[in-house]
């Protein structure tokens, strides 16, 4: 049994990473493209790889977190729901999920997971912020300033890295958006080595999945 959590800011490359993990055999629950709008597809042309249950759960947790709920109160509210959702997915011996909202609650998830592994995706902060601005405008109709986007992305990254440093003791692997774009197969091999799973005969699939010259910044 291996359970994988992919963490990273929105627009940081978590969908690319989960797509590679899916090719390597990790059940990451791809969102069907046919259920997405054209603007959604422009943001993730190969799929978002999002699990609706975990997305809904982390959205509810993040709402209460932002409203000021303490860690103790969040645990009381969501601990059983987290446990139940994880148990349902651990029927698969190699599975994972990703949500851009998971990082503040990592310990709450990890304590219920069998043999957890964390994959942390990072991206150049300016590019990450610009991509998020495009997403917020095109998908949600919100106009975000660059200053605000930089504040949000830097805060979320700080929280994520602090949680990983201070409260997470399970194996953790770091990779970057830029390295995936530059050499997708090398990063896939590193992920496979980290998870101790085979990667042979997957090279072509990985290379076809990653679009090195595609940029969400051009989808505005």
**pLDDT at residue 121, as a whole number:** 98
Give the pLDDT of residue 18.
94
Give every CB contact of residue 98 below 8 A, 6+ residues apart in sequence. Answer: 5, 6, 7, 8, 14, 15, 17, 18, 28, 49, 50, 54
Q: What is the mean pLDDT of the chain?
A: 90
Residue 41 has pLDDT above 50, yes or no: no
pLDDT of residue 220: 42
Quick: pLDDT tens for 118-170.
Answer: 999 999 999 999 999 999 998 889 999 999 999 999 999 999 999 999 999 99
User: Which pLDDT score is estimated for 43?
Assistant: 57
- Which residues constitute the domain of residue 161? 2-218
CB 103 within 8 A of CB 159: yes
CATH number (domain holding residue 185):
3.40.50.300
Structural domain count of the chain: 1
CA distance 120 to 192: 15
């Amino acid at each position: 049994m291996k359970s994988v959590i992919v963490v990273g800011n929105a627009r940081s490359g978590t969908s690319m990473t989960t797509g590679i993990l899916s090719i390597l055999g990790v059940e990451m629950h791809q969102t069907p493209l046919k259920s997405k709008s054209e603007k959604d597809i422009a943001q993730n042309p190969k799929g978002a790889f999002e699990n609706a249950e975990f997305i809904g759960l982390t959205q509810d947790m993040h709402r209460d977190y932002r409203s000021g709920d303490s860690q103790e109160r969040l645990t009381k509210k969501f601990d059983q729901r987290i446990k139940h959702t994880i148990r349902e997915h651990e029927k698969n011996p190699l599975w994972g999920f990703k949500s851009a909202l998971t990082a503040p609650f990592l310990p709450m998830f990890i304590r219920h997971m069998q043999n957890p592994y964390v994959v942390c995706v990072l991206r150049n902060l300016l590019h990450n912020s610009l991509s998020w601005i495009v997403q917020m405008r095109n998908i949600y109709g919100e106009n975000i300033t660059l200053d605000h986007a930089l504040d949000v992305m830097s805060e979320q990254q700080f929280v994520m890295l602090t949680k990983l440093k201070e409260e997470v003791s399970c194996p953790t692997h770091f990779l970057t958006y830029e390295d995936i774009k530059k050499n997708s197969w090398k990063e896939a091999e590193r992920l496979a080595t980290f998870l101790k799973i085979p990667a042979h005969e997957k090279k072509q699939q990985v290379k076809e999945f990653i679009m090195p010259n595609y940029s969400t910044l051009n989808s505005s």
